[in-house]
Amino acid sequence: MTRNVRITLHPSFDVLAATTAARLITRLLDVQGERGEATVVLTGGSVGIATLKAVAQSPARLAVDWAKVNFWFGDERFVPAASPDRNAGQAAAALLDHIGVDRARVHEMAASDVVADLEAAAADYTAQLAAAARREWESDDDSPESAPAVPRFDVLLLGLGPDAHIASLFPEMSGIRSQGVPVVGVANSPKPPPWRVSLTLDAINTALEIWIVVAGADKAAAVGLGLAGANPVQVPASGAHGVNKTMWLLDQEAAAKVPEQLMRRDS
Ligand SMILES: O=C(O)[C@H](O)[C@@H](O)[C@H](O)[C@H](O)COP(=O)(O)O
């Protein structure tokens, strides 16, 4: 199967965030034009949150019917709901609190002061995903029993760690090895905080488009490995493949180890 992988270079962190924001707005508009609603899976991390801030600053945001956008999270830190470490809280401050979302369409992963433990948080998100998938299936006149485990993800954003982790799936750990389940709890994360909840690669790869958004020289080696087709257990990013498209959106520093012939300059 030939995979549709596109690599695009941006001159700086800020241009990468602004361009990804523009792409996201356009993608949501296109999908809403076809289906009336759209679904995005958000990511934590510096570039992921900067992208949301750039959406909030874009006049084009006003063209999107945000009350008809479904928001999910690729991962979350298992900390109290009010912790500044929460991806959901950072996403709310950056964008969701400023654009008239339908709160019923914002699906957060459970916080450590809401559920007892990681297993409960993973079970809760699994149930949220399954319920949304059933609702979609029923609306398409299909029998709910045959619904998939997760709803349609029109675009799924991922950041990248220096160790090539995506979401909270870290090299050699149990999360990246998980199969047959959409959500896992992650203990002893090498990236603090140590306890997290994450979509699995199975769930991530149901997305129609996956956008891996990366900035900084410290990620260049991970980008090179991710694009080289390495084993996902050692290089989690290399396992991310959207159904229709996988885009690597890079700033110049993060792209330093990508062969020039693979690059498509964006500006
Ligand atoms: O919750 C998280 O920490 C993120 O989901 C994580 O996967 C992040 O996107 C990468 O670690 C990149 O983060 P930086 O861009 O901040 O390096």
Distance from residue 105's CA to the centre of ligand 1 (Å):
23
In this predicted structure, what is the pLDDT of residue 3? 81
pLDDT in tens, 137-178: 887 766 667 789 999 999 999 999 999 999 999 999 999 999
Average pLDDT, the chain: 95
111-115, 145-149, 253-257, 258-262: least confidently modelled range: 258-262
Distance from residue 141's CA to the centre of ligand 1 (Å):
38
Distance from residue 156's CA to the centre of ligand 1 (Å):
14
pLDDT in tens, 215-234: 999 999 999 999 998 999 99
Q: Whose CA is nearest to atom 7 of ligand 1?
A: 167
Distance from residue 160's CA to the centre of ligand 1 (Å):
6
CB 179 within 8 A of CB 214: no
Nearest atom (ligand 1) to Cα of 74: 5
In this predicted structure, what is the pLDDT of residue 87? 98
Q: Whose CA is nearest to atom 8 of ligand 1?
A: 45
177-181, 200-204, 238-242, 255-259: least confidently modelled range: 255-259
pLDDT in tens, 45-77: 999 999 999 999 999 999 999 999 999 999 999
Structural domain that includes position 174? 5-265
pTM > 0.90: yes
Q: How many other C-beta atoms can be found within 10 angstroms of the C-beta atom of residue 264? A: 10
pLDDT in tens, 78-101: 999 999 999 999 999 999 999 999
Q: Provide residues with CB under 6 Å of ligand 1.
A: 43-48, 74-75, 87, 159-161, 165-167, 191
Distance from residue 47's CA to the centre of ligand 1 (Å):
8
Distance from residue 248's CA to the centre of ligand 1 (Å):
15
Nearest atom (ligand 1) to Cα of 87: 1
The overall longest dimension of the chain from CA atoms, in Å, is 50
Number of domains in the chain: 1
In this predicted structure, what is the pLDDT of residue 266? 47
3-state SS string for the chain? CCCCEEEEEECCHHHHHHHHHHHHHHHHHHHHHHHCCEEEEECCCHHHHHHHHHHHHCHHHHHCCHHHEEEEECEEECCCCCCCCCHHHHHHHHCHHHCCCCHHHECCCCCCCCCCCHHHHHHHHHHHHHHHHHHHHHHCCCCHHHCCCCCCCCEEEECCCCCCCECCECCCCHHHHCCCCCEEEECCCCCCCCCEEEECHHHHCCCCEEEEEECCHHHHHHHHHHHCCCCCCCCHHHHCCCCCEEEEEEECCCCCCCCHHHCEECC
User: Which domain CATH number covers 109?
Assistant: 3.40.50.1360
Choosing from 43, 76, 166 the residue with most ligand 1 atoms within 8 A of its CB, the one to mutate for a pocket test is 43
* Contacts of 172 by beta carbon, 8 Å cutoff, 6+ apart: 233, 234
